[in-house]
Structure 1
Amino acid sequence: MKTGRELDILVAEKVMGWVVDGDIIENADLDEQGRCTFPSGDFLMNKETREPLPNYSTNIADAWKVLEKLIQLGAEINVGFYKQWDCSIDYPIGCNWLVQAETAPLAICLAALKALGVEV
């Protein structure tokens, strides 16, 4: 999967626990998947914090929020670079997921989804 809003939405829903709610904001439309969209093309804000959808797959500061969420869930994480960016997510029960990608945010997002059993 490539970087972009589709991946950001998947991370928001599957990793960060955002829930899509079309009644949150007036004058919003739903896309074909039932997600709330706005005329600007941006997507639904977080219901609890009213925060706009972060750019998880392209912005390292936003991707770091994904790592912090996984750490809260008990993960051990290693992000590094050797010819390509990689993100390794380990859980003490013996599970390990490693993803390599062109950018650190992309590697983080894909590894997080993989660790949570989401096919990408």
Structure 2
Amino acid sequence: MKRDAIITKWNSMSPRKRDDWVAEKVMGLELSDNMLAAYPKYRLPDYPDYFRDVPNYSTDIAAAWDVIQKMKDKGFSFTLGEASEKSGSVILGEANLGDQMCNFHIVTKNIFIHVFKETMPEAICLAALIAQGEGIEEYGRLHSKQKS
């Protein structure tokens, strides 16, 4: 799935559905089939009969920080910031003044993913999903093997 399709899907979803998507695609968690949409749960990897609530990745900065750590484990560096009046993104109309920005990048692979959203957790999660959608997960697996 490419950037525009990911953004369109993201914009059509509730925060809890976004959290489910991040849990599966970025964090690699297995969601339970027997859950209520308002209370998504994931299966504990070491205990398949036990479940935990899916964190509020898209609304809670502490949970979003886990997304950053996962992306770092996949070989990404990151930058967080805020769109200012001198920002090229604001001047070009790509972002609104005060929007939160997340960049994930792997310089050696010439990969740069950036996202502007109203809140930092949203920016982090959407940038991570876009990175996954661009086939970056393959690089992450290779990078992890090289570290071992």
TM bucket, shorter chain: 0.7 to 0.9
Contact 1:43 1:53 in 2 (8 A): yes
For residue 100 of structure 1, what is the aligned residue in structure 2? 116
Residue 9 of structure 1: aligned partner: 20
Shift of 1:45: 2.8
Distance 1:90 1:84 in 2: 19
Distance 1:46 1:75 in 2: 26
Map 1:40-59 to 2 at 5 A.
41-48=38-45, 50-59=51-60
Larger radius of gyration, structure 1 or 2? 2
Structure 2 Cα separation of the partners of residues 16 and 115 of structure 1: 13
Q: Which runs of 4+ in 1 moved over 6 A?
A: none
Give the one of 101, 122, 132 matched to 1:86. Answer: 101
Determine if contact 1:46/1:53 at 8 Å carries over to the other structure.
Answer: no
Q: Which runs of 5 or more structure 1 residues have no equivalent in the other structure?
A: 22-34
Aligned counterparts of 1:43 and 1:56: Cα–Cα separation in 2: 12
Which residue number in structure 1 is paired with residue 74 of structure 2? 73
1:48 is displaced (CA, Å) by 2.2
RMSD: 1.9
Contact 1:19–1:46 at 8 Å: present in 2 too? yes
Aligned length: 104
